[in-house]
Structure 1
Amino acid sequence: MKIIIAPDSFKGSLTAIEAAQAIDRGVKKAFYDAETVLLPVADGGEGSMETLVSATDGKIKHTPVIGPLGNKVEAAYGVLGDGKTCVIEMATASGLNLIPEGNLSPLQATTYGTGQLIKQALDDGFSSFIIGVGGSATNDGGAGMLQALGLQLLNENGHEIGYGGGELNRMKQIDMRYFDKRIKDCSFRIASDVQNPLTGVNGASAIFGPQKGATAAEVALLDENLMHWANKVEKTTGIKLHDLPGAGAAGGIGGAFQAFFPGDMKRGIDVVLDYIKLDEKVIDADLVITGEGQIDSQTASGKTPMGVAQAAKKRNVPTIMIAGSIGKGFEVLYDFGVVSANSIINRPMPLEEAIERAEELVEWSAEQVVRSYFFQKLNNNGRLNT
């Protein structure tokens, strides 16, 4: 019996690695001799760096950078097991998680620290990059990142503008003379599920600005400033970011990558699955178990459990999902090789208790689902029927 264990994190309670370990313990309680392969996964957002580093026996390097509000923070980048590929999770330098509750400031928040991470990796000799852009606190179009890499954004007096999306309307000129020359010889794969354009009603400011603390008035100002930014970028590079799919990712940093960096954008879960080689490891498996905090109709839009199920279905391997909660519309997942979706909650309990007990509840749920799934498939000798 071979079972692939490939969950995402249960946000607020378990990392993907902790969830995988808990599922593994549950499986072994049911079938102590089962062969399990732990492949914790992520979708390009928070946890992706740790997942990829763990799956490839890589390492993590820490470095101080300027955080989203200009304060110094301890960020990190990962090096995959090949020793050649650098993984940067922008949330470690420019993420919402770095801002204390009640202090969100979308007009001032900067991606400068993300640029510093890239520069440090360049200094360390890396030229192949994976960039996860989920969880950002920023709406500056990636301007801060570019400034950290030498791009000069000048005001009418020829001086650098300040940090944040609120400053973009003061920019009169983009000067590329000092932009890091090493970038043109690198490759950048941007892991993002966001297809929003940079500006307009579906743009970065309108759709994601409120999540970062922007009021209605600030959303309008930020969108206007990103329009100004896009006009200047088009004049400088010839690339029109205004309505370009994916340009609105992470407050517009998706557009900065498309305009100034060689590379491509790809669905986050696909980037991760490529590197952990799930497609190969699932070939001779009997079952895949995946999950995350909540499973509902939105899971089918490209979230981690859905990507795992799709990869398993290609090899005709069934998938079972477990989650903290099961929401409306989850039944659509049955069309993609999912056998069942199961909540870890085994009795009525407050949310706080469920979060505190998540590890034991995931373990319990995993034991129950494999006992149920394999009951009819096992003969009296405890072997799989064929």
Structure 2
Amino acid sequence: MQRRIVIAPDSFKGTATASEVAAAIARGWRSVRPEDAIELLPMADGGEGTIDALEVSDPGSARVACTVRGPVGEPTSAELLRLSDDSWLVELAETSGIDKVAEVSRLTARLATTFGLGEAIRYATVQGAKRVLVALGSSASTDGGVGALMALGARFETAEGEPIPLGNAGLASIEHVDLSSIDLLPPEGIVALTDVTNPLLGPEGAAAVFGPQKGASPEDVREFDAGLAHLAEALGTSNAEVPGAGAAGGTGYGLLAIGAEIQAGALAIADAIDLPARIAEADLVITGEGSFDEQSLAGKVPSAVLNLAAESDVPVVVVAGRVAEGLVGSQFGPSQAHSLTELAGSDLAAMTETERWLDEAGAAAAREFGDA
């Protein structure tokens, strides 16, 4: 009997894109059950890989390259995605991402800026974007989005009336702010997509949680948090506690200050690719990411897929590099899971030949499905 299988994974960061993951699982599945109808719907959560996911779902979309200022000042080429409804998608990772920094250090953590993100938003708007979606993830900076706002025309000045230095290093010197000098924004606004709910400040804020990943020392984290607090005071807004304000080094907060909306990335992308309807018609859904653990159930791609599948009473199989104990068969967990590490015998083997073991996982899932 032919069954309908939806494969909707996130990327396995550093080893395989979401499209590659979905294709490899499908190959394995077809080797066991070639008669089944398989639909590949690669997903993302608002971080790196969002362009790939939306491009697959929108045949009328097109990639557009532009040159912007990289996170530490050097020119960098960034790919944007123009969607068929005249919305544009910008990945922060493409403009201001940590992978754009050749050598991460305490200095780059202090100086890194989102200026290039603002340049990309402006470019898309000039090209006719009615709305700009910003995927917040993999940021190199902790500048509260100030760099992006400055690129859009906002003025952040010292007591002497000079533009503040870029990066978190300049936030403490803010004395005057003028957002009214922003002269060009997309007519239907900006939507920030993120997979985190961190506030701007404090022990769960942008500096404390994400600063160390960007090269910040404990002393730097305290300084960065103080800089972000000074920014919040200067802007005088109440957005610092909004879930997601701390995303991408506080870029969520900066975008909120100019009227942007923050959305859970995985849910927004699921809606964009019509995943709820696709799942409702399926007999089984396969999802996954590099490491499936309790955090996966809090806003990541697997949680979105599991919730949608539960609404339609469709079983879910998870394929991941690692699978934490106690989640399979739990109230919010999948019915089955396959760990590449267990299939390959080690983390190293799973990461070295990721697509091979994804193929094996797809085959194993198909055999279990056939036996059910």
* Cα RMSD (Å): 1.7
| Mean Cα deviation higher: 106-115 or 317-326 | 317-326
Q: Which amino acid in 2 is paired with 1:112? A: F
After the TM superposition, which residues 1-386 of structure 1 pair with which residues of structure 2 at under 5 Å, given as runs?
1-57=3-59, 58-80=61-83, 82-103=84-105, 105-183=108-186, 185-234=187-236, 239-261=237-259, 263-331=260-328, 334-336=330-332, 338-345=334-341, 349-376=345-372
- 1:189 deviates by 1.8
How far apart are the structure 1 equivalents of 2:32 and 2:300? 28
Q: Cα distance 1:4–1:348, how it changes in 2: closer, same or farther (>3 A)?
A: closer
Residue deviations 1:329-380 (CA, integer Å, cap 9, x gap): 424x63236211111245564433321211111111111111111224xxxx
Q: Which amino acid in 1 is paired with 2:148? A: M
How far apart are the structure 2 equivalents of 1:195 and 1:337? 21
Aligned 8 A contact 1:42 1:48 in 2: yes
How far apart are the structure 2 equivalents of 1:289 and 1:308? 9
Residue deviations 1:121-178 (CA, integer Å, cap 9, x gap): 0110102121110111110011100010011111122111121011111121012343
SS in structure 1 of the partner of residue 88 of structure 2: strand
Aligned 8 A contact 2:179 2:258 in 1: no
SS in structure 1 of the partner of residue 202 of structure 2: coil
SS in structure 2 of the partner of residue 219 of structure 1: helix
Q: Cα distance 1:231–1:131, how it changes in 2: closer, same or farther (>3 A)?
A: same
SS in structure 2 of the partner of residue 189 of structure 1: strand
How far apart are the structure 1 equivalents of 2:195 and 2:344? 34
- 1:65 deviates by 0.6
Aligned 8 A contact 1:296 1:327 in 2: yes
TM-score, normalising length: structure 1: 0.91
Q: Cα distance 1:23–1:64, how it changes in 2: closer, same or farther (>3 A)?
A: same
How far apart are the structure 2 equivalents of 1:317 and 1:49? 27
TM-score, normalising length: structure 2: 0.94
SS in structure 2 of the partner of residue 334 of structure 1: coil
How far apart are the structure 2 equivalents of 1:50 and 1:324? 20
How far apart are the structure 2 equivalents of 1:289 and 1:329? 19
Aligned 8 A contact 1:69 1:109 in 2: yes
Residue deviations 1:231-250 (CA, integer Å, cap 9, x gap): 1111xxxx223434322111
- 1:320 deviates by 0.6
Q: Which amino acid in 1 is paired with 2:363? A: E
Residue deviations 1:62-81 (CA, integer Å, cap 9, x gap): 1111111111111111122x
Q: Tell me, which stretches of 5 or more residues in structure 2 are unaligned?
A: none
How far apart are the structure 1 equivalents of 2:343 and 2:118? 47
How far apart are the structure 2 equivalents of 1:284 and 1:337? 20
How many residues align? The count is 368
How far apart are the structure 2 equivalents of 1:177 and 1:289? 47
Q: Cα distance 1:99–1:211, how it changes in 2: closer, same or farther (>3 A)?
A: same
What percentage of residue pairs aligned between the two structures are identical? Answer: 34
SS in structure 2 of the partner of residue 265 of structure 1: strand
Q: Cα distance 1:45–1:123, how it changes in 2: closer, same or farther (>3 A)?
A: same
- 1:259 deviates by 1.2
Aligned 8 A contact 1:50 1:78 in 2: no
Residue deviations 1:156-210 (CA, integer Å, cap 9, x gap): 2211112101111112101234312435x33222111322222222221122111
Q: Which amino acid in 1 is paired with 2:91? A: E
How far apart are the structure 2 equivalents of 1:71 and 1:110? 11
